[in-house]
């Protein structure tokens, strides 16, 4: 599906040279006037910004802007809006759906937020901090920790993903079960609108019932409504004790039951509950140096579960041992190991967090980021696995993820020695079957990775017509000329095209 350009009929207006595929000299000069020459990359220097991390898309760009201030972002957007230049906000480039990659026209401007990377303030008494969009997630976690607080968002890519990207994609990760997704961790935003106006609500209020939640619209909008430049984020008490276990479970239903038992026994102490299939251990021990199998015998399914508390004197290990012991007696759990040290805990998490990297090393793969109500998860896995083994017998199912959130990465990997390209050639058919199944069980075809460019057609297929209509109306209201991340989340609607 072609990505929609911001404006294809603007010949004669400023910026037309850029749109016509010429080097865009006038537009580039104007951008340099705002940013300074060194902050506009052109030519080969743009290369790292033109490909998404999965290698699904390769675009071209008019340039890559690296503004240092919100004022520069504002002037830059005002210029792009006037000249109908599409703007593609770009964070740590760790997204899964191509949301930060420009299209192939060479007419779009990549807007990197990397230099807006200050922690503006920390307010421990209000349990909040203000971070600029280009801050790396780990930098935000560190700033919280220095104030004896916790910023709980936790992702495999936390050493390189940027907070602006986390906000724009409403990132999830491994502690959603306890703390919610990125949307739940935000108190306020600073956003530059398509026409350059700046919206700011960074005062860190927890209560502010004053009309529509305009701010909320930018979370998960993937830069299609405006550019988030800073956010006021919620902080929590620091974790003082944890207990982590790796347990083999009888099946997926047993995993769901175990989670319920752990929750009941520990109150709000379950912070992570991740499902790992046998192949997750095989792939990581084979491809990732230093990863070992935590249990002796081989089992079909495992969970990595963690209890944590802000109180040091909490008997978390005792609770975990007791619940796992009872589950062993009942046949829900087949074997289990508790992490006896921080080093052992880190090793368990390394196993979990390197599954995507190990899957990449294995060869081509297909990814499905589905969610269903927890009660339907065993049925989804049973029916999905059976569909895969019947229809794609040559592939290996690598289904893992955030069981506690009803979210699985129901991925497929090419078997070693498979004919190159055979699995990827069937991507559309496999995706259709698995997404249809998730939706038929009341679930979602995109639980935590967003829409980007990859799932625009899926959104059109599964979103209720009224919702799509409203989304398009919101897009028109915020971005009447369609310059903000064109072709991501929504394809340009016919009405938008007429207007141009």
Return the residues of window 334-363 that contact ligand 2HG according to CB under 6 A: 356
Asked if 431 interacts with ligand 2HG (CB under 6 A), we say no
Report the nearest approach of ligand 2HG to the CB of residue 281 (Å). 15
Report the nearest approach of ligand 2HG to the CB of residue 433 (Å). 17
Name which of 149 and 402 has its Cβ closer to ligand 2HG.
402
Rounded Cα–Cα distance for residues 125 and 106 (Å): 48
User: Residue 407 in contact with residue 374, Cβ under 8 Å?
Assistant: no
CA dihedral of 114, 116, 122, 128, whole degrees rounded to 10: -70
Asked if 272 interacts with ligand 2HG (CB under 6 A), we say no
User: Residue 479 in contact with residue 194, Cβ under 8 Å?
Assistant: yes
Name which of 28 and 411 has its Cβ closer to ligand 2HG.
411
Rounded Cα–Cα distance for residues 334 and 416 (Å): 30
According to DSSP, the β-strands at 333-338 and 270-277 are: unpaired
Tell me, residue by residue from 128 to 157, as one string, x for binding to ligand 2HG by CB under 6 A and - for no binding: ----------------------------x-
Asked if 164 interacts with ligand 2HG (CB under 6 A), we say no
Asked if 455 interacts with ligand 2HG (CB under 6 A), we say no
Name which of 114 and 351 has its Cβ closer to ligand 2HG.
351
Asked if 401 interacts with ligand 2HG (CB under 6 A), we say yes
The DSSP annotation for 443-500 comes to -BS-SSS--TTTTHHHHHHHS-HHHHHHHHHHHHHH-TT--BSTTSSSPPPHHHHHH-
Position of minimal CB gap to ligand 2HG: 356
Asked if 411 interacts with ligand 2HG (CB under 6 A), we say yes
Rounded Cα–Cα distance for residues 217 and 477 (Å): 12
Residue 277 three-state SS: strand
Tokens in use for 232?
């006021």
Asked if 435 interacts with ligand 2HG (CB under 6 A), we say no
User: Residue 415 in contact with residue 387, Cβ under 8 Å?
Assistant: no
Asked if 367 interacts with ligand 2HG (CB under 6 A), we say yes
Report the nearest approach of ligand 2HG to the CB of residue 356 (Å). 3
Report the nearest approach of ligand 2HG to the CB of residue 367 (Å). 4
Using CB under 6 A, list all residues that contact ligand 2HG: 156, 356, 367, 401, 409, 411
């Amino acid at each position: 599906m072609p990505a929609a350009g911001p404006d294809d009929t603007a010949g004669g207006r400023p910026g037309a040279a850029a749109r016509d595929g010429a080097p865009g000299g006038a537009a580039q000069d104007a951008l340099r006037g705002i940013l300074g020459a060194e902050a506009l990359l052109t030519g080969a220097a743009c290369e790292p910004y033109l490909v998404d991390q999965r290698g699904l898309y390769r675009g071209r760009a008019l340039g890559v802007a690296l503004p240092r201030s919100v004022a520069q972002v504002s002037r830059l957007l005002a210029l792009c809006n006037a000249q109908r230049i599409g703007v593609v906000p770009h964070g740590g480039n760790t997204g899964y759906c191509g949301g930060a990659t420009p299209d192939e026209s060479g007419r779009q401007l990549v807007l990197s937020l990397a230099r807006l990377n200050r922690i503006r303030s920390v307010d421990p008494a209000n349990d909040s901090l203000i971070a600029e969009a280009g801050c790396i997630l780990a930098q935000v976690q560190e700033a919280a920790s220095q104030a004896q607080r916790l910023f709980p968002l936790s992702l495999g890519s936390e050493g390189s993903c940027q907070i602006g990207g986390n906000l724009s994609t409403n990132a999830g990760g491994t502690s959603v079960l306890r703390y919610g997704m990125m949307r739940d961790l935000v108190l306020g935003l600073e956003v530059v609108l398509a026409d350059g106006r700046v919206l700011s609500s960074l005062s860190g209020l927890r209560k502010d019932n004053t009309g529509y939640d305009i701010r909320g619209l930018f979370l998960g909008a993937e830069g299609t409504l405006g550019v988030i430049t800073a956010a006021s984020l919620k902080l929590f008490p620091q974790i003082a004790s944890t207990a982590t276990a790796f347990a083999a479970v009888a099946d997926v239903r047993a995993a769901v039951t175990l989670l319920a038992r752990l929750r009941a026994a520990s109150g709000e102490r379950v912070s992570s509950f991740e499902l790992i299939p046998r192949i997750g251990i095989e792939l990581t021990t084979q491809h990732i140096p230093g990863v070992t199998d935590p249990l002796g015998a081989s089992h079909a399914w495992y969970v990595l579960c963690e209890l944590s508390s802000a109180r040091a004197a909490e008997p978390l290990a005792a609770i975990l041992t007791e619940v796992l012991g009872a589950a062993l007696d009942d046949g829900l759990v087949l074997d289990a190991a508790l992490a006896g040290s921080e080093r052992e805990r880190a090793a368990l998490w390394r196993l979990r967090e390197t599954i995507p990297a190990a899957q990449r090393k294995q060869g081509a793969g297909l990814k499905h980021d589905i969610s269903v109500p927890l009660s339907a998860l065993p049925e989804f896995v049973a029916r999905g696995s059976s569909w895969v083994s019947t229809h794609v017998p040559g592939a290996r199912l690598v289904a893992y993820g955030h069981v506690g959130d009803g979210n699985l990465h129901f991925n497929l990997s090419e078997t070693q020695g498979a004919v190159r390209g055979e699995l990827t050639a069937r991507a559309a058919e496999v995706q259709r079957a698995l997404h249809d199944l998730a939706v038929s069980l009341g679930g979602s075809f995109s639980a935590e990775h967003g829409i980007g460019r990859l799932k625009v057609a899926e959104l059109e297929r599964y979103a209720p017509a009224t919702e799509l209509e409203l989304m398009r109306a919101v897009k028109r209201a915020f971005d009447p000329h369609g310059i903000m991340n064109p072709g991501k989340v929504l394809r340009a609607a016919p009405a938008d095209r007429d207007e141009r």
